[in-house]
Amino acid sequence: MKRDYSTGHPHPLTQEQQELLRQELQKPTSFSSYQQITDPIEETFGVKMSYPAVYALVRYKWNAKLKVPRKSHEKNEKHVRHSS
Residue 82 confidence (pLDDT): 52
pTM: 0.64
What rounded mean pLDDT belongs to the chain? Answer: 80
Whether 12 is in a domain gets the answer: no
Q: Could you count the other beta carbons within 10 Å of the beta carbon of residue 13? A: 18
Mean pLDDT of 21-48: 85
User: Which residue in 24, 23, 14, 22 sits closest to 45, CA to CA?
Assistant: 14
Whether 10 is in a domain gets the answer: no
Instruction: Provide the domain count of the chain.
Output: 1
Whether 39 is in a domain gets the answer: yes
Whether 2 is in a domain gets the answer: no
Whether 8 is in a domain gets the answer: no
- For 24-59, b where at least 16 C-beta lie within 10 A, e where not — what string? eeeeeeebeebeebbeebeeebeeebeeebbbebbe
Give the domain range for residue 23.
19-61
